[in-house]
Amino acid sequence: MDTNKTKIALITGVTGQDGAYLAEFLLKKGYVVHGLKRRSSLFNTDRIDHLYQDPHANKRNFILHHGDLTDSSNLIRVIQETQPDEIYNLAAQSHVKVSFDTPEYTANADGVGALRILDAVRLLGLTKKTKVYQASTSELYGLVQEVPQSEMTPFYPRSPYAVAKLYGYWITVNYREAYDMFACNGILFNHESPVRGETFVTRKITRAVAKIALGLQNKLFLGNLSAQRDWGHAKDYVEAMWLILQQEQPEDYVIATGITTTVRDFVRMAFAEVGIEIEFSGKDVMEKGVVIDRDEEILNRLKIPIEHVKLGQTVVKVDPQYFRPTEVDLLVGDPTKAKNKLGWIPKYTLPMLVKEMVDSDLQLMRKEEYLRKGGFTILNYFE
Ligand code: NDP
Ligand code: GDR
């Protein structure tokens, strides 16, 4: 094989958090990157707009295609047209709580969607050319069987999302064994970033912290504060996806930091970034987070008026609508295999991640504050 040939990648879910980081990463490595995006009634390319290239340009290395994981003929056509060396199947209905409301759709997109990709590669006779990465998840571990969780830990999924991803995991293993395909699962633990979807807990927290500090919001309502997650940075995790496909042998890998933290502690850390110290009291739905101290040096440095947050003010409350019918209480991954075989070492720590997310949301919310102060309001075309 000519190793100098420009590599071609196809990323499904390119408009999502990981898709955007991965596209940037692969473009820097010299790949031609094709991305599959869904048609939507509003623009949905915010996260990749900085990579956009004019379709009229002569030579492009970042090309978007409309598509959907529930549409086999579309997937077959896009794969045939692009002839990728590597497919990263990142597209999914990725919200665990939402999967309880849309279980059938989630099964179709997240479970059968993985099959559609693998089978398209097989039907097109590309099994020797095209490597496939499947976005598997720590949600597969679900109800705790052992900690830390490794490639050998039994699965016990606890949501329609996790059950759909279980199918995606095993169909990837099956196609690897049945058709000798280079198909791998990355079992990735939670990873976040400033462009994390706004309804996942970390981003919901950092956005609210920024809004509360700037006086644009009073309270943050959350669900289960005792859940423990192994949180890393998406930038580190997309590098692991790529490394998994560069190995001699196709294998599955756990990608995690090995450190777990409660949602409650993540909230404390995020408020501390803006100089607000909070203490939790009460239990279950009575639990609340109250301001007990303020660091004036930090507030001054960030130009946050001290009167925005009062001592004794309740800034966090529990709302049972965010509880899940079945919860995953504790996730902590064992990344030993990834470290030894892939040489993968994450560069970000949790404090670095929290700081980056809070800083970014402060900047975003200052824009909103500025517009509000300037008298600009959202235009209403419907009155
Ligand atoms: P996001 O929710 O940010 O992105 C999901 C992407 O999939 C979006 O581009 C979305 O499009 C697209 N998508 C959703 N449904 C379909 C469909 N039916 N057909 C085509 N595209 C679709 O997720 P992340 O980037 O965080 O995660 C990427 C993948 O990794 C997902 O499969 C997720 O389940 C998995 N994962 C994520 C982890 C994490 O902590 N982030 C951990 C482990 C696994 P649109 O923008 O239009 O909504
Ligand atoms: P998760 O992420 O379910 O782990 O799935 P999420 O951030 O949604 O929840 C993490 C934990 O926080 C608790 N929680 C809340 N969650 C949300 N979203 N909103 C709240 O208000 C809230 N309050 C408490 C949850 O109960 C949970 O325990 C993510 C997704 O990216 C999946 O696609 C991916 O597979 C897994 O991570 C690994």
Output the domain CATH number for residue 123.
3.40.50.720
Same domain, 181 and 324: no
User: In the prediction, which pLDDT does 375 show?
Assistant: 86
Does residue 249 sit within a domain?
no
Q: Which atom of ligand 1 is nearest to the CA of 95?
A: 2
Q: Which atom of ligand 1 is nearest to the CA of 110?
A: 32
Percent of the chain, pLDDT > 70? 99
Ligand 1 centre to CA of 16 (Å) is: 5
> What does the pLDDT average to over 105-115?
98
Do 184 and 268 fall within a single domain? no
| Residue 299, domain extent | 201-227+262-329+348-368
Residue 193 in any domain: the answer is no
Boundary of a domain, candidates 141, 166, 188 = 188
**Does any domain span residue 232?**
no
Based on the fold, state whether residues 66 and 148 are members of the same structural domain.
Answer: yes
120/215 same-domain check:
no
- Cβ pair 255, 237 in contact under 8 A: yes
370 an active-site residue? no
Q: Are 97 and 161 in contact (CB under 8 A)?
A: no
Q: What average pLDDT does this structure show over 215-227?
A: 97
Mean pLDDT of 354-381: 89
Q: Is 71 inside any structural domain?
A: yes
The lowest-confidence range among 20-24, 112-116, 170-174, 374-378 is 374-378
| Mean pLDDT score across all residues of the chain | 96
Q: Is 157 part of a structural domain of the chain? A: yes
Give the pLDDT confidence score for residue 1 in this predicted structure.
Answer: 46
Please spell the DSSP secondary structure of 82-150, one letter per residue.
H--SEEEE--S---HHHHHHSHHHHIIIIIIHHHHHHHHHHHTT-TTT-EEEEEEEGGGT-S-SSSSB-
Residue 69 scores a pLDDT above 50: yes
Q: Both 159 and 223 in a single domain? A: no
Examine residue 133 and state whether it is found in any structural domain, yes or no: yes
Q: What pLDDT is recorded for position 245?
A: 98
Ligand 2 centroid–CA 217 distance in Å is: 22
CATH of the domain at 288: 3.90.25.10
Predicted complex ipTM = 0.99
Average confidence (pLDDT) over 179-205: 98
Q: If pLDDT is split at 50, 70 and 90, which confidence band does 377 have?
A: confident
Domain co-membership, 117 together with 168: yes
pLDDT (average), residues 340-344: 98
Q: Is 137 a catalytic residue?
A: yes
pLDDT in tens, 166-189: 999 999 999 999 999 999 999 999
Q: Please indicate, yes or no, whether residues 121 and 210 belong to a single structural domain of this protein.
A: no
Q: Quick check: is 88 in a domain?
A: yes
Domain count, the chain: 2
Inter-helix orientation angle 263-273/201-213, to 10°:
30
For residue 246, being part of any structural domain is answered with: no
* 155 and 89 in a common domain: yes
- Residue holding tokens 């529990």? 318
Q: Look at residue 3 in the predicted model and tell me its pLDDT.
A: 58
Task: Give yes or no: 52 in active site.
Answer: no
* Nearest-CA residue for atom 6 of ligand 1: 13
pLDDT digits (tens, 9 = 90+) for 54-66: 888 889 999 999 9
